[in-house]
Structure 1
């Protein structure tokens, strides 16, 4: 049974991997910035553990499961104690979630403000693999999901980055993505770059040989500025730039001399073809970006559209 965590929490998935530690640090910082409770969760796939234990030694499943539960609780208690010392005043709690990793995180996303996880991880108590868990959770979660990617250069500090990048397609449904990006830029005091890649969608139909014209770029910039207007007015403290690119958003996210501090992309609610296309684009960004990536569910398409 998935445990109940405070509504509006920042849910942070944690296991024994190095990237999981980075995800924990990022999630705690974000929870402190937003003054929201943090719920640190350790995923324990009971069925998988019992099956593996039975194969290894008949009848040993219950003892193995008991030991893993006890170890998971002990690990979380230590993490929570350290987090509370590092962030005085922040509400931090630990939860052992006895669910398959993907399903458990998706269920928690129904009441969470944000789900944070590492790009990969190993161990008997949950495995955060970019190709499976991160991809599945970003596709199905009800709230924004942050996948913390390892930095391009561990020696760089936050101040060395180029700020926050948000990919915008100009559609009304992408407004929640833009608003989330501006809110993050405001909280973190970072500049924001909004990019509209005019090739991304057309390339899926026309192939890599398609070259956008001048009108395509002008139309893209106009749509981009219109999309940014409301969020920019709401967050006048955010310094932002708008640009139209003739490539793919994954290339913009990954190919920079100065890495981004954060990349924000949307996940659209559409039919099977659009789900495949957007899923592929989001996965490409997750694989190319060398910084945390935030995947924000876009507004649902009204009936009769899409």
Structure 2
């Protein structure tokens, strides 16, 4: 399935040579250096499906040569990404993984051992025509570890730290912890946003972040309360933050609907990077 092993606890980033993957790579390199973790570069190719697609159907095609060309091109993508990573962080431990499987399958398998997965919001190929690539959506929805989806950003925009959306339940705790850690590693302030429908829910956020100040004394925190739909508030505010963090619950028929109402909306419409954190990390 692949050409190398992946260290447990590494930061995994999908690379394909696109501008979107480049944005993901830049962020992942920085984060791996900040956390002193290995970085694993992943590129997936599907030679069987590629040849069966009919794109190169016809007589006289040397499929063996075509497969060799595909492998060579894939390795070039990985080597270029590794060179970029080491140029930015010369001491970084970098691994390359060439997977002969569906990208979603490969990344979801890696999610059980990775610290996080970092992806571009779109990639090359058919999914590039979508607002958000289907690989990013699927991996963010089903991964066992946090998934950060990066977009190319406008350098003229000024951002003000990390934003995390919470619902006041224990299921928000992994997202809160992740947001605090990102703010601490990157030296950024954190805004905790709690959207509520009933007045009695306003106090839940205080319970959610209890103890975090002692755990992360270096992180300045502001709590904001708003009534209404969380996804609308998070999307509207996203242009002001370098990272928006949302949680999602285990996939069940009911929670599938919950995911469908918040996390994909934020992923699809946010103006910057989004981290989706499973409630069972």
* TM superposition shift of 1:139: 1.2
- Would you say 1:97 and 2:99 are equivalent positions? yes
**Aligned with 1:192 (options 190, 193, 201):** 190
Contact 1:267 1:296 in 2 (8 A): yes
Q: CA deviation at 1:96?
A: 1.1
Label 1:29 to 1:98 Cα distance change in 2 as closer, same or farther (>3 A).
Answer: same
SS of structure 2 residue aligned to 1:255: helix
Query: Structure 1 residues 191 and 102, CA, compared in 2 at 3 Å: closer, same or farther?
Result: same
The one of 227, 240, 247 equivalent to 1:266 is 247
Report what 2:156 is aligned to: 155
Q: Which of the residues 234, 239, 242 maps onto 2:215?
A: 234
User: CA 1:272–1:26 in structure 2 vs 1: closer, same or farther (change >3 Å)?
Assistant: same
Q: Report what 1:49 is aligned to.
A: 50
Q: Note if contact 2:239-2:271 (Cα within 8 Å) is conserved in structure 1.
A: no
* Residue in 2 that maps onto 1:205: none
- The alpha-carbon deviation at position 5 of structure 1 amounts to 0.4
Provide the aligned C-alpha RMSD in A. 2.1
- Is the alpha carbon distance of 1:196 and 1:93 closer, same or farther for their aligned partners in structure 2, counting shifts above 3 Å? same
SS at match of 1:5: coil
TM-score normalised by length of structure 2: 0.92
**How far did residue 123 of structure 1 move?**
3.8
Residues 118-151 of structure 1, C-alpha deviations (whole Å, 9 max, x = no match) = 0001149x97962511111011111100011233
Q: Which moved more, 1:36-45 or 1:47-56?
A: 47-56
Q: How many residues of Structure 1 are paired with residues of Structure 2 in the alignment?
A: 278
TM-score, normalised with respect to structure 1? 0.84
**Equivalent-residue separation in structure 2 for 1:33 and 1:257 (angstroms):** 23
Which residue matches 1:249?
230
* 3-state SS in 2 of match to 1:6: coil
Contiguous gaps of at least 5 residues in structure 2: none
Alpha-carbon shift at residue 55 of structure 1 (Å): 4.7
Shift of 1:112: 0.7
User: Which residue matches 1:176?
Assistant: 174
Question: Per-residue deviation at 1:174?
Answer: 1.7
What residue number does 1:139 align with?
Answer: 141
Report whether the alignment pairs 1:40 with 2:21: no
Distance 2:69 2:225 in 1: 54
Cα gap change, 1:299 to 1:123, in 2 (>3 Å): closer
How is 1:78-117 mapped onto 2 (pairs within 5 angstroms)? 78-117=80-119
CA pair 28-88 structure 1, distance change in 2 beyond 3 A? same
Supply the distance in 2 between the matched residues of 1:97 and 1:55 (Cα, whole angstroms). 22
Q: CA deviation at 1:176?
A: 1.1
Q: Give the Å deviation of 1:257.
A: 9.0
The alignment status of 1:296 with 2:273, answered yes or no, reads no
- Say whether the 8 Å CA contact 2:238–2:272 is kept in structure 1: no
